[in-house]
Amino acid sequence: MNGRFAPGTFTPAPGAGRPVRMLFTHARTEAALTLRNGEQVLLTLLIPLALLVGLTLVHVISLPEPRVDSVTPRVFALAVMSTAFTGQAIALGFDRRYGVLKRLAATALPRWLLVAGRVLGCLAVVVLQLVVLGVAAALLGWAPTAAGLLWTVLLTVLGTLTFGALGVLLGGALKAEVVLALANVVWLVLLFAGGIVLTADTLPAGMAEVVRLLPSAALTEGLTQALVDGSAPALSTVATLAAWGAGAGLLATRTTRLS
């Protein structure tokens, strides 16, 4: 009856794979799936690109000149939020629905790697986004300093971790449809009222103080300080981002469910 399979074919030889290999394979799969998904590409790349070009060339809101220098940090912040928060939350919500998390949790993949792989996948997509957006901005006349770029890299990593933790918090706890709706609403609210398109310092005094406490405003402000002012981001922006990330991360470890 076993003609098809030579004896010994399935002799047990169990064991966990090498963590580095697991991490990279998982991250690569996550990144490839994001880039293959049309809606995700629209959210993560096309909308930020359209805003970059639109806000630079069309004078709908008043911005300090050169306009592209003011727009680029905001679009970078938006790109990070789109991928790490909205995209991540929606993907996680549906991956839970479709049993992907359970499937992966049943392998030798340790729990920490289950999160780390997704975060690294996100980071890879964010890097790709920022390169594309950066090239487009450069074509529009953007010329950042080396120090500004270095701070941008650090802020991008911190921002991805913070928004990633928030994305996992939302996507890991609720039903997929609810996640889809909430993640998009939060994205829209933060984009227009969360200090990205309209930065906190242009808002009325009472509102500005509140908006400044949001991670979206903190990331935009930090990136603006680094890229426009050429200075180190204020400690308050870094602290705000870190606090949101740590809070969301801690909460997510309690609320995230596999299915």
Site residues for other proteins per CB under 8 A = 1-2, 4-5, 7-18, 21-22, 25-26, 29, 32-33, 36-37, 94-95, 98-100, 102-111, 258
User: How far is the C-alpha of 206 from the C-alpha of 197, rounded, in Å?
Assistant: 18
Residue 78 has phi, psi (to 5 degrees) of -60, -45
- For other proteins, the closer CB: 108 or 135: 108
CA dihedral of 228, 78, 157, 238, whole degrees rounded to 10:
60
Least distance in angstroms from the C-beta of 35 to other proteins: 10
Structure tokens at 36: 């293959």
Q: How far is the CB of 33 from other proteins (least distance, A)?
A: 5
CB of 230 to other proteins, least distance (A): 42
CA-wise closest residue to 145 among 206, 78, 227, 208: 227
Q: What CA–CA distance (Å, rounded) separates 258 from 173? A: 9
Within a 13 Å sphere around the CA of 38, how many CA atoms are in the beta-carbon half? 0
For the bound state, the minimum distance from the C-beta of residue 34 to other proteins, rounded and expressed in Å, comes to 9
Instruction: Return the DSSP state at 10.
Output: T
Shortest distance, position 15 Cβ to other proteins, whole Å: 3
Cβ proximity to other proteins, 37 vs 184, nearer residue: 37
> Closer CB to other proteins, residue 99 or residue 230?
99
Rank residues 9 and 62 by Cβ distance to other proteins and give the closer one. 9
C-alpha span between 40 and 53 (Å, rounded): 20
Phi, psi of 184 (to 5 degrees): -75, -40
* 73 vs 117, beta carbon nearer other proteins: 117
Instruction: Using alpha carbons, select from 190, 198, 150 the residue that is nearest to residue 167.
Output: 190
CB nearer other proteins, residue 22 or residue 241 = 22
Q: State the minimum distance, in angstroms, from the CB of residue 179 to other proteins.
A: 15
